[in-house]
Amino acid sequence: MLVPIANTPRDYAWGGVDAISGLLGTPPTGGPEAELWLGTHPGSPARLVADGRPLGDVAGPLPFLMKVLAAGAPLSLQVHPNARQAAAGHARETAAGVPVDGPERVYRDPHEKTELILAVSERFEAQAGFRAVAEVRADLRRLGDASAAGLAAALDALDARLGSDAVVGRAFLWLLSDEPEALAAVAALRSALAARPDDFPVQAGLAEHYPEDAGVVASLLLNNVVLRRGEALAIAPGTIHGYLSGIGIELLTASDNVVRGGLTPKHIDRAELAALLEVAAAAPQRITGVVEAGGGTAFIPPSAGERPPFRLDRIEADARLEPGGPAILLCVAGGFEVRGAGSEARLERGGALYASADEGALDITGAGELYAAR
C-alpha cells in the first residue's frame, strides 16, 4: 500500500518560527516549528490523511523515524545510548516509577539511538565530537589574551585536565560539574569569551541564548561543523553533539532517548552523561552521498553490524527505489508519481507517503526534491 500520511510540527522553543511550513509549503502555525515526525514512535506518531488513525495501525512499529528538523536556536548538548544502555536505562526508570512522559525521564523507550542529519537549508551548523587536544590548547592560548579576572588560573586548571586525545571528554565533564574550581574556571572563561565574540563566534551565539550555562565554555572542546545543502553528518551513540542552526532531514532509529549535558533548561543527568559519553577526540562523521544506478543519492551511516540501521535517499528526478522493506517518502519541492507493485500515488510538495514492504520496488517519476527513508 501507498498511504498518504501527515503530522503537526512540534513546537519546541528552539524551533524556527514557521520554518517547517515554509519549507513544505503547508499552512504556518505562527510559532516555533522544531520537528516534524514521520514514523510510528508513540511520542508523535504520523497519522493517515484519510481518517486520522495513527500510522502504526497499518504499518506496525517502524524501526526508523524520519524528521524534518528546524533549528532556529541551538539545541542542547547531548548524547544518545547504545542498545545495551537504552534497554538497561529504560528498565531502571520504569521500575523506579518515573513517568514515561515526565520531564526527568531520560529513557522514554528501550531502543538505541543512531542518527543522520542532511542539510536542506543552504547552511546547517552543528557541533559533534571532541576536538584534538592540540586544537583546544591553541584556542585557549588565543583566549589568554583577553582580560578577565581569574583567567590565568582558569586556563591552567583546564589545561591540566585536557590530558590526551584519548580522554579529552573528561575535561568536558569537569567543566559541567559543580566542583568549586570548575565553577570559578567557567566564570572566568565565560567572561573572556564575552570579550572576544569575533574570535569565538560559536560561543558568542550560544551565550546569546544561554548566558549563564557552563555549556558555552564546554563547547570549546567540540568540533564545529558546517554542512552545505546536500551534505550529511552521522551521530553515533555516545557522541556529544548539538545542532546550532539550519533546516535538515533527520533520520534515526525509532528512539526518543536523550541524555542532555548543557545549553538547556531541561533535565540534566550528569551521572548518566558521564556513563554514556565517548571521551576520546574524534573527527565528525561526515557522510558522502553515493549516486545510485537507479537514480538518486543514498546517504548511509557507518555501521559496526552487517547492515546499517537505515538509509536516506535524495531524489530529484526519475528513479527506481528498492527499499527492501517499508519506506517513508517526503516531497519538499516539485512533484512525483510513485508506483509500486500494487498501487500508485501522486506526491506534491509538503506531502508524505508510507510505502509498505509488499509494494516492492518503487518507480518514481517527476522532478523536484524527494527524500526516502528506509
Contacts of residue 208, Cβ cutoff 8 Å, sequence gap at least 6: none
Return d(Cα 46, Cα 6) in angstroms, integer. 6
Return d(Cα 62, Cα 39) in angstroms, integer. 7
260 in catalytic set: yes
Angle, CA of 283, 286 and 292, to the nearest 5°: 155
Report DSSP letters for 154-167, one per residue: HHHHHHHHH--TTS
Which of the following is catalytic: 260, 311, 314, 374? 260
Return d(Cα 261, Cα 214) in angstroms, integer. 9
Return d(Cα 322, Cα 308) in angstroms, integer. 15
340 — phi, psi (to 5°)?
Answer: -115, -165
Q: Which residue has the cell 504556518?
A: 28
Give the distance, in angstroms, between the CA of residue 131 and the centroid of all CA atoms in the same chain: 19
Dihedral over alpha carbons 13, 17, 20, 24 (to 10 degrees):
170
Residue 152, by phi and psi: left (phi above 0), alpha (psi -120 to 50) or beta? alpha
Q: Which helix (H) or strand (E) holds 151?
A: helix 151-162
Q: Which residues are catalytic?
A: 260
